[in-house]
Amino acid sequence: MSLRVKVELILFITFALVIGLGYGIQRFVVIPQLVPVEREAAGRDMERCIGVLERQRLALRKACAELADAPLLRGEAPTGETARALAGAARELDLNAVVLLDVGFNPIAAHYSSSDGASASAYDSDAWIARSELLQATAVGQGAGVDLTGLGPALVAVSALSGAAESPLGYLVIYRLITPEHIQEMQRQAATSFQLWPVTDPVLSPEERSIVQEFLAGKKLHIEETGSDLFRVYAAYPGLTGRPVLLLRSDLQRNLLARARATMQTGLLANVGVGLAALVLLIILFRRTVMDSLSLLTRHAAHIGKTGDLSLRLVMDRGDELGTLSHEFNRMVEQLEADRAYQLEVKEQLRESEERYARAVRGANDGLWDWNLGTDEIHFSERWKNMLGFEGGEIGPSPDEWLDRIHPDDRENVLAALEAHRLQKTAHFESEHRIRHKSGTYLWVLCRGLAVWNPDGEPTQMAGSQTDITLRKIFEEQLRHQALHDSLTSLPNRALFLDRLTQAIKMGTRHAGYQFAVLFLDLDRFKVINDGLGHVIGDALLGLFAEKLRGILRAVDSVCRHSGTLARFGGDEFVVLLDNISSVADATLVARRVERALEEPFRIDSHEVYTTCSIGIAMSNPGYTSAEELIRNADTAMYRAKAQGKACFEIFDSDMHSKAMERLQLENDMRRAIDRGEFIVHYQPIISLESGRITAFEALIRWRSPERGLVSPAEFIPIAEETGMIVALGEFVLRTACAQARAWHEELPRYADLKISVNLSVKEFGKPDLIGSITDILTETRLDPRLLKLEITESALMDSVEFVTRTLRQLRDMGIELLIDDFGTGYSSLSYLHRFPTHTLKIDQSFIRDMQGSHESAQIVRTVVLLARALSMGTIAEGIEEESQARRLRDLECGAGQGYFFSRPLPVEEATALLKSDPVWFAPPPDNG
């Protein structure tokens, strides 16, 4: 296929695609976009119709209110003047009924008329009055709406007749049937024709009844396309109770879409005709102006290609690109003719130089050298000499100028590589080695070379290059250091430490007397320092701590004569490998020195930072096969030290591992228990010490495990706190307890004021969305916030005083009662206590238990009660186990108490049974007044 045919075919295809694309855009993009526009316009038309009906309703409501204010309608009894006034109002306002009712909705005066002459009996009856949804919905006040009567739909309005004391004397009801004349007037106002029927009208089609069901389900508008040029729009108008009573329908022409389709068809025909004419004209012009000249150029090029005759020239007198092309074609032919002569001249020169430079080209890279093995002389390039700091005449052609400058540690390897290549054992010579600079320093270089052998297999020539790779070597060394060292402290990192620990384990398997130890160190309270003083201070602290550890290890090395590796494991965790120690005493010596070193504060900028360290020690053992196992055991011992109160060290034993595994299994079981719903809530009653009756319950979580049975909270609560599961458990307890309290209020009316008390953990109290979460639960369970008590420990209160105070005030403003739990065992300051908006102090059970035998405990309880009274707070005593304790607390005027004397925590069924028995534990104290 020729270029001309291809171009014409492309033009025709392009024309067809443009026409098709234009039609497609109009048909499938523009036209469909007009449909939503017309649907929206149809919806607006229907909204105008509904608006007209709504204005009729509001006008009738206003007319009723104005008529109700007439003096003649507020007399003690209807008179003839009253009847005339009602008749006049019916004529003036075009009403079908005007009725006066007493406060019991009994007609006392009325005027009825029918615009079409029909009998008014359909609404002239007491039955209609009693049935009217409007009167039932507006027994007081006034209102208006649409009602359905035996004569058809009507607008109804009612207004109260007020007496002197603003109490209703009765009601005025007016009634206007919606007649065809009224509908025509509304169509005129809406500028749109529409029809309306009662939704219960039997004339409705099945499709219209289905649309009514959609409106009953909450739909506002129904639009459907009828044919290609009509929209049918349905809407519902609500009755007195808000449910649809009228179905409105309007049929609207789709004028915009019809005009668009006609315009599109006309435009398409016009475009096709004009486009075809333009295409034919374009093809003719293209042939005459372009293709004829291109055909001539093609014939000339083909002739030159076939014959090699460069004497032919192209004659084309044009002032456009084709003219320029012909001129450049002629210049190109002339240049080719000149180049042919030049190529013949240089061809011989290239052949002579090609052999001489071939060897250098193969081996050249940076500084070049060429070694004539027959004369044993080397030619060094200027770049080779300059690389070592020499000028051209300072280095002779002897091979010793190169070999004697190689570093003594590398010389043997270089000579071996050269010899291997001379004997053709290697394809080429390559060596990385150090070479002495003129200044006396050494450079790292990469030397490559290639030899040439004669027919007898003897090497005759070797040439190559030398590249300075010093910077690369430095960079590689830096990368190796960075890969194996911590960037903050420059200590070995986890990877390097594990490698050295692995080597120590292997050494221990080969030598029976070899011992070593791993110390795992973790800074106590580092997160507090990091969060309080900032990460810059935290990083500086880690650096100073690392320096102090280096000094300790150097000092211990001189005493114990062993080597050690100190590494940063991550965060505030450091590890020490003590090599070749004699006993565990060497490891404990290091641990004690670390403890003593931390007695002095770190001085960072203007801060004095105190910190301590928890240390776990794991001794070597022939049973260890992996470094990770030793690290894990040292880490386990470190966490045991944390549990013992921090700032100490612990030595790992097998019991620690089994306990750690038990704890891990317990944690895994807890996570599954949450998903399986194994956690339940028990309820312990809180008793008023004045009346001896139940005033509240405290909700306490319990775990009923199918495998473990009933698990003590002392076992799983600490794990839940540490892992964060306490947040999900706390939300479960709060939701369950609130729902149960609400159920008790509904089931047992005499306990309608029963309160429920729920504990908030430190992690729960620190949640940013705590207020929102509690609000959602109260809304969900429909529990009055005043019946909810939240117990917060002293430690949670003192974590962040400003945040705590703000949160407590928000809870108090919601009406929730706030308690400080286990008061007396924490570290709250009295200077803050009066600032916290709390209601009650719970006295810890340790004071109650020792109150009988310890004067100090009894005095503490008395002091707490007096303190609470001074702060206008209540008190609850925990752990009451004997009646004498309860009576003693009542004598001290302690408000309430709980404990096993009254009841243990009970499942919900037993707690409900206890409430139903309405128990009283002891009689109120006698009134001596």
pLDDT at 421 over 60: yes
pLDDT at 205 over 90: no
Question: Region 420-449: what's the mean pLDDT?
Answer: 92
Residue 532's identity, in one-letter code, is G
Q: How confident is the model at residue 451 (pLDDT cuts 50, 70, 90)?
A: very high
Q: Which residues contact 747 (CB under 8 A, 6 or more apart)?
A: 912
Q: How confident is the model at residue 561 (pLDDT cuts 50, 70, 90)?
A: very low
pLDDT score of 914: 94
pLDDT score of 135: 59
How long, in residues, is the chain? 929
Instruction: Look over the chain and give the mean of its residue pLDDT values, rounded to a whole number.
Output: 82
pLDDT at 310 over 80: no
pLDDT score of 392: 76
Terminal C-alpha separation, the chain = 126
pLDDT score of 260: 67
Q: Which residues contact 291 (CB under 8 A, 6 or more apart)?
A: 3, 4, 7
Each residue's pLDDT tens digit, 610-650: 889 999 999 988 778 888 888 988 998 998 888 887 889 99
Percent of the chain at pLDDT > 70 equals: 85
Burial class (CB in 10 A: 0-12, 13-18, 19+), 459: middle
Phi-psi region of 18 (alpha: psi -120 to 50; beta: other; left: phi over 0): alpha
Tell me the Cα Rg of the chain.
51
DSSP E strand stretches across 54-141: 97-102, 107-112
Contact 171, 134 (CB under 8 A): no
pLDDT score of 928: 53
Q: In DSSP terms, which residues pair with 144 in a beta bridge?
A: 157
pLDDT at 126 over 50: no
pLDDT at 171 over 70: yes
Q: Which residues contact 101 (CB under 8 A, 6 or more apart)?
A: 107, 108, 129, 135, 170, 171, 172, 173
Contact 556, 593 (CB under 8 A): yes
More confident of the two residues 836 and 50 = 50
Each residue's pLDDT tens digit, 314-326: 777 676 777 777 7
Q: How confident is the model at residue 908 (pLDDT cuts 50, 70, 90)?
A: very high
CA 225 to each of CA 13, 35, 46, 272, 550: distance values in angstroms, whole numbers, following the listed order: 38, 10, 15, 32, 86
pLDDT score of 332: 83
- Angle, helices 713-723 vs 725-747, to 10°: value is 120
Question: Region 124-128: what's the mean pLDDT?
Answer: 49
Distance between CA atoms of residues 295 and 900, nearest Å = 113
Distance between CA atoms of residues 87 and 67, nearest Å = 12
Look at residues 583, 584, 787 and name the one whose alpha carbon lies nearest to residue 686. 787
Q: What is the three-class DSSP state of 355?
A: helix
pLDDT at 846 over 80: yes
DSSP E strand stretches across 812-895: 817-823, 840-843, 874-877
pLDDT score of 583: 85
Q: What is the three-class DSSP state of 526?
A: helix
Distance between CA atoms of residues 897 and 883, nearest Å = 11
Question: Region 218-246: what's the mean pLDDT?
Answer: 80
More confident of the two residues 302 and 32 = 302
Beta strand 896-897 with 874-877 is parallel
C-alpha angle 852/896/830, rounded to 5°?
80
Question: By mean pLDDT, which of 371-380, 460-469, 586-595, 799-808 is the weakest?
Answer: 799-808
Question: By mean pLDDT, which of 156-165, 393-402, 583-592, 700-709 is the weakest?
Answer: 156-165
pLDDT score of 360: 52
Question: By mean pLDDT, which of 63-72, 249-258, 448-457 is the weakest?
Answer: 249-258
Q: What is the three-class DSSP state of 788?
A: strand
pLDDT at 365 over 60: no
Each residue's pLDDT tens digit, 78-119: 667 777 888 888 888 888 888 888 777 777 888 887 655 444
Q: What is the three-class DSSP state of 759?
A: strand
pLDDT at 354 over 70: no
CA 640 to each of CA 248, 551, 615, 653: distance values in angstroms, whole numbers, following the listed order: 79, 26, 9, 11
pLDDT at 120 over 90: no
C-alpha 136, offset from chain centre: 52
Residue 849's identity, in one-letter code, is R
Report the range out of 31-35, 136-140, 284-288 with the highest average pLDDT. 284-288
Residue 150's identity, in one-letter code, is G
Distance between CA atoms of residues 519 and 497, nearest Å = 12
pLDDT score of 163: 54
> What's 110's DSSP letter?
E
Question: By mean pLDDT, which of 354-358, 539-543, 894-898 is the weakest?
Answer: 354-358
C-alpha angle 585/588/591, rounded to 5°?
155
> What's 58's DSSP letter?
H
Q: Which residues contact 533 (CB under 8 A, 6 or more apart)?
A: 604, 607, 609
pLDDT score of 256: 66
Question: By mean pLDDT, which of 137-141, 753-757, 815-819 is the weakest?
Answer: 137-141
pLDDT score of 562: 47
Q: In DSSP terms, which residues pair with 155 in a beta bridge?
A: 146, 176
Q: How confident is the model at residue 672 (pLDDT cuts 50, 70, 90)?
A: confident
Output the CA torsion sign for 469, 471, 476, 480.
positive
pLDDT at 372 over 90: yes
Backbone dihedral angles phi then psi of residue 478, each to the nearest 5 degrees? -65, -40
The string of DSSP letters for 200-261 reads T-TT--HHHHHHHHHHHTT--EEEEE-TTSEEEEEEEEE-TTSSEEEEEEEEEE-HHHHHHH
Q: Which residues contact 438 (CB under 8 A, 6 or more apart)?
A: 388, 389, 390
Structure tokens that stand for 94 in this block: 């075009």
Backbone dihedral angles phi then psi of residue 318, each to the nearest 5 degrees? -135, 150
pLDDT score of 202: 81
Question: By mean pLDDT, which of 139-153, 483-497, 593-607 is the weakest?
Answer: 139-153
pLDDT score of 544: 92
Buried b (16+ CB within 10 A) or exposed e, 186-195: bbeebebebe
Contact 430, 446 (CB under 8 A): yes
C-alpha 633, offset from chain centre: 36
pLDDT at 867 over 50: yes
Structure tokens that stand for 922 in this block: 């002891």
C-alpha angle 347/350/351, rounded to 5°?
90
DSSP E strand stretches across 80-182: 97-102, 107-112, 142-149, 152-162, 168-177
pLDDT score of 899: 93
Structure tokens that stand for 441 in this block: 């320093």
Output the CA torsion sign for 440, 441, 443, 447.
positive
pLDDT score of 25: 76
Distance between CA atoms of residues 249 and 188, nearest Å = 15
Report the range out of 34-48, 136-150, 764-778 with the highest average pLDDT. 764-778
Structure tokens that stand for 471 in this block: 């910077």
Contact 373, 464 (CB under 8 A): no
pLDDT score of 558: 41
Buried b (16+ CB within 10 A) or exposed e, 702-724: bbebeeeeebeeeebbebbbeee
Backbone dihedral angles phi then psi of residue 826, each to the nearest 5 degrees? -95, -150
C-alpha 265, offset from chain centre: 53
Look at residues 441, 432, 445 and name the one whose alpha carbon lies nearest to residue 389. 441
Give the number of other CB atoms < 10 A from CB of residue 904: 10
